[in-house]
Amino acid sequence: MSRSLRARQLVLLAPLALAAACQSADKQQAAATADKPAADSAATAKPKFLTEPLVKDIYTADPSAHVFDGKIYIYPSHDIETGMPENDKGDHFAMRDYHILSMDSVGGKVTDHGVALDTKDIPWAGRQLWAPDAAFKNGTYYLYFPVKDKQDVFRLGVATSKSPTGPFKAEPNPIKGSFSIDPAVFTDTDGQSYVYFGGLWGGQLQRWATGTYNANAAEKKPDGDEPALNARVARLAPDMKEFAGPVKDVVILDSLGKPLKANDTKRRFFEGGWLHKYQGKYYFSYSTGDTHLLVYAEGTSPAGPFTYKGVIMTPVQGWTTHHSIVEFKGKWYIFYHDTQLSGKTWLRNVKVTELKRRADGSIIPIEPGTGS
């Protein structure tokens, strides 16, 4: 049996094995607590989560959701078990391919369309195929992805297909001038498309603080009183394969109009940026990373600046948090992930729940449940 096939079988069987183990543990616990007071039994109740995983036979994360031709397509990362030890740079997140999911309705059947792009089919790729996004224009579907090149530097790439489910064919080189991770593409009502990207720590954004790559820059996140490092944004060319202008900072301001500081860890950008538009306002949402929040800021332009507004989602079970927001059949939904199936931060599962707003457009915070 090939190493890749054995790894695939282990990934497919892991959630089933976990479920069987949990059932056995539940039976043993029931026997042990049969004669205990009701209050003690309540303390051993099963973990509570707001929603259930969309798929359970593979591990998926970082879901980028889009509506194409009246159907939801989800472009997630595909987590696998590699046995690599955890570290601050995220080397244990050693994903190698993408599976694309689709659903006709929220709460309905979810279809896994199989492998749409593999690292081995990206000519310039080295390792770690992290969180992707997708877009549609010119009769073509575009898949944007971050992967380390053969010098171990994260770059952004793009692949194309005539189908939203692929397979996708990667361009022979990364997007010129691109770097870091977590691409998210937004197309405005005027037809102009933008790509947002960047991530601290393992995402290498701090190594690009001066505009050029510094391999010797500190790998830890900035946390002093200096201005926070920002996500980046660039306009996309009409062919959607290149930047049409300079890379700019996505500036996030506080209520007084001052840029957020690096030590403002519950509000400053860390990774996982996303942009959506609602009633004429632009909402830039993102993860705060080590404080485990999904938060958002509002602006009047897709390039910002944006003013911080509040929390979208409190911490999930698992270290990472990453999301997308999409409108479907008159309602708004947030797609996110946690570690309900595995309990391991590098083996995640994607979920969805409705996103609700107040009359002024502000987002009502969501409590996803953390398994306790």
- Give catalytic residue positions: 62, 271
> Are 282 and 297 a contacting pair, CB within 8 Å?
no
Asked whether 322 and 65 are in contact (CB, 8 A), the reply is no
**Cα–Cα distance for residue pair 325/287, rounded to 1 Å:** 13
The pair phi, psi for residue 164, each rounded to 5°, is -65, -15
Distance, CA of 110 to CA of 106 (rounded, Å): 9
**59, 341 contact by CB (below 8 A):** yes
CA angle 51-71-15, nearest 5°? Answer: 40
Helix (H) or strand (E) run with residue 307 in it = strand 306-313
**Contact, 220 vs 201, CB < 8 A?**
yes
164 vs 141: CA distance, rounded Å: 6
Phi-psi sector, 38: left (phi>0), alpha (psi -120 to 50), beta: alpha
Beta bridge mates, 279: none
Contact in structure between 71 and 105 (CB atoms under 8 Å): no
CA dist 254 and 279 (Å) reads 22
If 0-12 CB within 10 Å is exposed, 13-18 middle and 19+ buried, where does residue 304 land? buried
Are the C-beta atoms of residues 252 and 297 closer than 8 Å to each other?
Answer: yes
- If residue 40 lies in a helix (H) or strand (E), which one and from where to where? helix 38-43
